[in-house]
């Protein structure tokens, strides 16, 4: 059996893989399938003698360079959305909300103080694209901002594809959320459609403190039981 006897079924396989990638709704799958389809085409034509080895190597190099260039062009993750920035003070946040027509901010009526250490929450309704927004502060500085979108005005696919085009592929992806993050920032798109910004340094400090308090409580409970 010769190489050419395999050519037709292999050709059918690579065409199906390529087309599946082109029409996939999953961006990561689309890139992977399209690249795989191109690679199989090159391998097939080189084996049949249609494409010289030098041209095949050049084609592979071009694909790899395109992928690297696409990654290199990704913008750094932002700490900011419109006039709202992680780390801003409560007064700065209230002033920004008052000036922004996108929100129906009612002043101090939308501000709550949480029982946790020096934490406060600003919750306000939005108009058009944003249905509701939450801003959480600790020690007077914002470390979480969350925007619940209006599905009648904007859809999950549009937001997700914009993020991937601007910031690259997410670090983590599952049916519930897509996550982009660095050492300092975490941005997630959560279903049905919420975009959340988190200052990881402040958030991790809170987690560490909670873990310490919990372990201390467990130890005190054990000490109490040992008294019997």
Predicted confidence (pLDDT) per residue in 175-222, tens digit = 999 999 999 999 999 999 999 999 999 978 887 766 645 555 555 566
Predicted confidence (pLDDT) per residue in 153-168, tens digit = 999 999 999 999 999 9
Answer yes or no: are the C-beta atoms of 77 and 199 closer than 8 Å: no
* Strand 141-149, strand 130-138: pairing: antiparallel
- The strand pairing partners of 136, in sequence order, are 121, 144
pTM of the model: 0.62
Predicted confidence (pLDDT) per residue in 5-45, tens digit = 444 454 454 445 444 544 444 544 444 554 445 544 444 44
So what's the pLDDT on residue 62? 46
So what's the pLDDT on residue 3? 43
So what's the pLDDT on residue 227? 57
Is the pLDDT assigned to residue 92 strictly greater than 70? yes
């Amino acid at each position: 059996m010769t190489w050419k006897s395999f050519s037709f079924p292999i050709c059918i396989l690579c065409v199906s893989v390529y087309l599946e990638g082109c029409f996939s709704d999953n961006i990561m799958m689309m890139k992977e399938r399209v690249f795989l389809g191109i690679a199989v085409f090159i391998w097939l034509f080189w084996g049949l003698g249609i494409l010289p080895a030098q041209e095949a190597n050049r084609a592979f190099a071009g694909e790899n360079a395109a992928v690297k260039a696409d990654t290199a062009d990704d913008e750094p993750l932002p700490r900011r959305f419109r006039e709202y920035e992680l780390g801003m003070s409560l007064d700065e946040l209230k002033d920004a909300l008052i000036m922004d027509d996108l929100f129906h901010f009612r002043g101090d009526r939308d501000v709550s103080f949480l029982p946790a250490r020096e934490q406060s929450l600003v919750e306000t309704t939005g108009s058009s694209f944003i249905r509701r927004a939450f801003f959480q502060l600790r020690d007077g500085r914002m470390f979480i901002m969350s925007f619940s979108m209006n599905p009648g005005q904007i859809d999950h696919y549009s937001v997700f594809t914009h993020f991937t085009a601007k910031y690259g592929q997410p670090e983590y992806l599952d049916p519930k959320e897509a996550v982009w993050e660095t050492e300092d920032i975490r941005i997630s798109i959560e279903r049905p459609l919420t975009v959340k910004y988190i200052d990881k340094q402040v958030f991790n400090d809170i987690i560490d403190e909670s873990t310490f308090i919990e372990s201390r409580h467990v130890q005190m409970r054990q000490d109490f039981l040992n008294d019997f």
